[in-house]
Chains A and B, each alone.
Chain A
Amino acid sequence: MGKSRQCAESCVDYLALELVHHYRTQLQGPSLQAALDAVGERAGRQLAERCARDRAPLLEQLEAVKFICKEFWGEVFRKAVDNLRTNHRGTFVLRDTQFRWLVRLSQNQMPAQLGQPLPAPAAKADLAADFLLLPCALVRGALAQLGWDAAVTADAASLPQVDFTVVMRQQVQR
């Protein structure tokens, strides 16, 4: 087998941004969400297959979530999750205090024409909503491939910190 090839991290950043912009030109609202969900889920499944290789079996729900917090997050978002909370009844909150994909998200937008005053800054949470669809889908796809059906949502009220809430549904039939 050949040596593993690598590319600059900025390529992943730009690709993620361009993905959202591309679909935004064609779709709005629920269908935009569905398109990004589909892309992310597929990629999440493939990444899980690759990342979970050569590891001890992940039999427990908590082990699977811890795998996502450490190994999976490290592979995809280049760091580990900073804080994991659970209610021990299937709901987990993964907190990433410096979410790398959104660290440079700016609230300021350009005015329609040069010389006009800047428009009021939009709420960061709204701006980030579309860009968080892909990471949520990646996590959902990875968990699905590991055998856990889950719903993943993200809360970006205080960027650059992002809270991902994972609600586990029924375990997929083994």
Chain B
Amino acid sequence: MIVAVAVVGPINQPLYLSTFTDDESARLSTLVHCSLDAVEEKVAAGMRGVTTDVPDAYLGVLAVEEECKVYGFVTNTRTKLIVVVDDPLIKDDEMRAIFRRMHTAFADAVSNPFYVLGTPLVSPRFDASVRTIATSLGAAA
């Protein structure tokens, strides 16, 4: 199931962090920040053309720590969506669908004219959308 969700801005400023376990929010936020290095590596590799794959917004697994895996997704506006999952059997397709829904929710939240771009995102509606997406993963499995 999804343990944490984070949104990081274009200059790596934290915009949003939400955890779904009872404790360890400090450990999870550290994990998210450490995985940002992996994001930079993958994006740079994509730009240099190191891999022959088509450049993809979905970055796959960024880091593994104990039972948790960290997945990443970079939008065209260089906002990064990071999701920490502790279910070892999750498939790539499921993660891509999760990121697509999360990107939609993020685009809706950013469309709020009172939200200042680049500052931390405080939105009850976005919280609720993220919670729905996060819990839907456990239910579908």
The tally of residues in A whose CB lies under 8 Å from a CB in B reads: 21
Known: A46-B110, A50-B111, A173-B11. A56 touches B77 (CB 8 A): no
Interface residues of A (CB under 8 A from B): 1, 42, 45-46, 48-50, 52-59, 145-147, 172-174
Main secondary structure of the interface of A (DSSP, over half): loop
Contact across chains for B10 and A147 when beta carbons are under 8 A apart: yes
Contact across chains for B55 and A59 when beta carbons are under 8 A apart: yes
In the complex, which range does the number of interface residues on chain B fall in? 20 to 34
What B residues does A147 contact at CB under 8 A?
Answer: 10, 77-78
What B residues does A54 contact at CB under 8 A?
Answer: 100, 103
Q: Could you tell me the distance between the alpha carbons of A147 and B40 in the complex, rounded to whole angstroms?
A: 15
Contact across chains for B46 and A59 when beta carbons are under 8 A apart: yes
Known: A48-B77, A174-B78. A56 touches B56 (CB 8 A): yes
Contact across chains for B78 and A52 when beta carbons are under 8 A apart: no
**CB-CB nearest in chain B for A50:** B107
B136 to chain A, nearest CB (A): 13
Q: Taking the complex as formed, is B76 at the interface, i.e. its CB lies under 8 A from any CB of chain A?
A: yes
Q: Could you tell me the distance between the alpha carbons of A57 and B43 in the complex, rounded to whole angstroms?
A: 10
Q: Could you tell me the distance between the alpha carbons of A161 and B100 in the complex, rounded to whole angstroms?
A: 38
Contact across chains for B57 and A56 when beta carbons are under 8 A apart: yes
**CB-CB nearest in chain A for B112:** A46
Q: Could you tell me the distance between the alpha carbons of A56 and B58 in the complex, rounded to whole angstroms?
A: 10
